């Protein structure tokens, strides 16, 4: 294993795959890039133990986590002890809240901000639910609104408007059980779409207003940003697996073959597929493969794609935030790779839609360039943002010194052993 460095690992327990992404701060890696994190490894394992964010098989899930961990450790050369864990699923609920406090010394301090957030948090949350995040939306000082960082401002009254995200305590406890069983510690729990947004959108987009949709296997997780802060989050229980299931039923083919067909020939709009294109479809129960028009698969997918986009649009409408989405909609997650999904999105929403893959990191970017790694990479960036102030003493010279020291010790040990 390589010498001790601050290692950040993101564990994404998805309904189709478990992935562990590993990154180290660029200064510790001795890399001179604009990015603060270098990706050094990824481990993935298929998972059947999760359904729509909820563990349905502890053994299978912890087994997948262990396999992903082994692969990530092998690829990165770093031992993983602690992970930032993504949480998703239909059990996630969120709501807005407000708090108000008197400013103690007529100038807002970090403690005042902490107190007003605590005040906003003081709402009755049922005992079977856990607060995952309290995300500040904006602050008001003596009625003056639109303030993102009030520290240092003069005033008498400080108000905060926050967005609170809660999740089922049981669902999280079961996730934690699987992680513990795999021998890992939890550094923190992070809402999947919040993590994904860290790796796929820019600060400009957040300021202009944007909705990020992480289209996974079991569900599509959404997060809205207005004026640079989180305004709303929601979950739609439709994802890539529903498309696969429709294909399996519609074309009478096994699920595994349907999944392959979707990735190879799938298209969300039938008219985008050239009329004469054909494909081979495996039969079920030993029936012979058939050759069918590619349009048939698109005709099966189209209604589901339209329905998914309409569910997203309904959510946008209900939130009342649609007019504030200046940067439009950003699709990410494995299922957004379906051909024609952007066109379907633009047709339904009537606002710009783009597909985004994880960015803002250096190192092994090629291995995490798929939108399916948006959450994994985002978890590292989230962890880094939470911890970077604690690591300011850690310089690249230390890292190199550390590495040299460790090598000299190793060589010395070897020589002692030999002679």
Ligand X SMILES: Nc1ncnc2c1ncn2[C@@H]1O[C@H](COP(=O)(O)OP(=O)(O)OP(=O)(O)O)[C@@H](O)[C@H]1O
| Contact criterion met (CB below 8 Å) for 246 and 304 | yes
Length of the chain: 419
Question: 38 or 246: whose CB is closer to ligand X?
Answer: 246
From the list 41, 155, 209, 216, which residue makes contact with ligand X (rule: CB under 6 A)? 216
Ramachandran sector of residue 213 (left: φ over 0; alpha: ψ -120 to 50; beta: rest): beta
Binding-site size, ligand X (CB under 6 A): 25
Residue 263 binds which entry of ligand X, Mg ion, none, CB below 5-8 Å type-dependent = ligand X
Residue 199 engages ligand X in binding (rule: CB under 6 A): no
Question: Rounded distance, CA 350 to CA 182, Å?
Answer: 45
- List contacts with Mg ion (CB under 5 A): 14, 216
Contacts of 364 (CB under 8 A, 6+ apart): 38, 39, 40, 41, 42
**Chosen from Mg ion, ligand X, none, partner binding at 240 (C-beta under 5 to 8 Å by type):** ligand X
Residue found under tokens 């050239």: 274
360 binds ligand X (CB under 6 A): no
Q: Which of 136, 218, 345, 383 binds ligand X (CB under 6 A)?
A: 218
Among the residue ranges 25-33, 60-68, 330-338, 378-386, the one whose residues contact ligand X (CB under 6 A): 330-338
The smaller minimum CB distance to Mg ion, of residues 312 and 322, is found at 312
Pairwise CA distance, residues 68 & 80, whole Å: 11
- Sign for the CA dihedral angle at 304, 310, 314, 316 comes to positive
Q: Tell me the C-alpha to C-alpha distance, in Å, between residue 263 and each of 68, 70, 302, 308.
A: 23, 27, 15, 18
Task: Determine the Cα–Cα distance for residues 110 and 133; give it in Å rounded to an integer.
Answer: 18
**Window of 93-101, 126-134, 153-161, 234-242 that interacts with ligand X by CB under 6 A:** 234-242
CA 37 – CA 78 distance, rounded (Å): 15
Q: Which of 66, 76, 197, 241 binds ligand X (CB under 6 A)?
A: 241
Residue 49 touches ligand X, criterion: CB under 6 A: no
Residue 372 interacting entry, from Mg ion, ligand X, none, C-beta within 5 to 8 Å by type: ligand X
Q: How far is CA 275 from the centre of its chain?
A: 37
Beta strands 82-87; 8-13: pairing state? parallel
The single residue among 166, 174, 244, 253 that binds ligand X, judged by CB under 6 A, is 244
- The site string for ligand X over 261-280 (x = CB under 6 A, - otherwise) reads -xx--x--------------
The interface partner of residue 334, options being Mg ion, ligand X, none and the CB cut-off 5 to 8 Å by kind, is ligand X
Q: What's the closest the beta carbon of residue 409 comes to Mg ion, in angstroms?
A: 42
* CB 338 within 8 Å of CB 243: yes
Which residues within the stretch 59-118 sit at the binding site for ligand X (CB under 6 A)? Answer: 88
The stretch near ligand X (CB under 6 A) out of 23-31, 120-128, 179-187, 240-248 is: 240-248
85 CB-contact burial (10 Å; exposed 0-12 / middle 13-18 / buried 19+):
buried
Which stretches of the chain bind ligand X, using CB under 6 A? 12, 14-17, 53, 88, 216-219, 239-241, 244, 259, 262-263, 266, 333-335, 337-338, 372
């Amino acid at each position: 294993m390589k010498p001790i460095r601050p290692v950040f690992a993101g564990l994404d327990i998805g309904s189709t795959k478990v992935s562990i992404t590993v990154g180290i701060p660029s200064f510790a890696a001795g890399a001179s890039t604009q990015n603060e994190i270098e990706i050094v490894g990824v481990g993935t394992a298929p998972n059947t133990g999760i359904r729509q964010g909820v563990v349905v098989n502890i053994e299978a899930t912890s087994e997948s986590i262990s396999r992903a961990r082994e692969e990530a450790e092998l690829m990165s050369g770093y031992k993983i002890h602690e992970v930032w864990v993504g949480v998703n699923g239909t059990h996630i609920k969120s709501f807005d809240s407000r708090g108000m406090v008197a400013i103690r010394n007529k100038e807002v301090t970090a403690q005042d901000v902490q107190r007003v957030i605590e005040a906003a948090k003081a709402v009755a949350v049922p005992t079977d639910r856990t607060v995952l995040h309290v995300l500040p939306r904006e602050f008001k000082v003596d009625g003056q609104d639109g303030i993102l960082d009030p520290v240092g401002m003069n005033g008498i009254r400080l108000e905060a408007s926050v967005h609170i995200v809660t999740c089922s305590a049981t669902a999280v406890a079961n996730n934690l059980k699987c992680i513990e069983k795999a021998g890992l510690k939890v550094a923190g729990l992070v809402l999947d779409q919040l993590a994904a947004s860290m790796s796929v959108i820019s600060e400009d987009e957040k300021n202009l207003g944007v909705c990020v949709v992480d289209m996974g296997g079991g569900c599509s997780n959404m997060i809205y940003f207005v004026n640079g802060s989180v305004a709303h989050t929601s979950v739609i229980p439709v994802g890539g697996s529903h498309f696969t299931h429709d294909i399996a039923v519609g074309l009478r083919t096994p699920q595994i073959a349907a999944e392959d067909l979707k990735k190879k020939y799938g298209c969300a709009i039938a008219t985008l597929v050239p009329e004469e294109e054909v494909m081979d479809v495996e039969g079920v129960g030993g029936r012979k493969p058939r050759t069918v028009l590619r349009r048939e698969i698109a005709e099966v997918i189209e209604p589901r794609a339209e329905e998914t986009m309409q569910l997203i649009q309904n959510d946008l409408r209900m939130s009342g935030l649609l007019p504030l989405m200046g940067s439009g909609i950003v699709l990410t997650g494995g299922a957004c790779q379906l051909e024609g999904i952007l066109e379907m999105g633009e047709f339904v929403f009537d606002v710009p839609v783009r597909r985004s893959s994880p960015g803002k990191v250096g190192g092994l970017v090629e291995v995490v360039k798929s939108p399916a790694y948006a959450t994994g990479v985002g978890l590292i960036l989230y962890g880094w943002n939470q911890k970077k102030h604690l690591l300011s003493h850690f310089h690249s010279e230390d890292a190199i010194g550390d590495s040299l020291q460790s090598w000299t010790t190793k060589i010395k040990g070897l020589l002692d052993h030999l002679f």
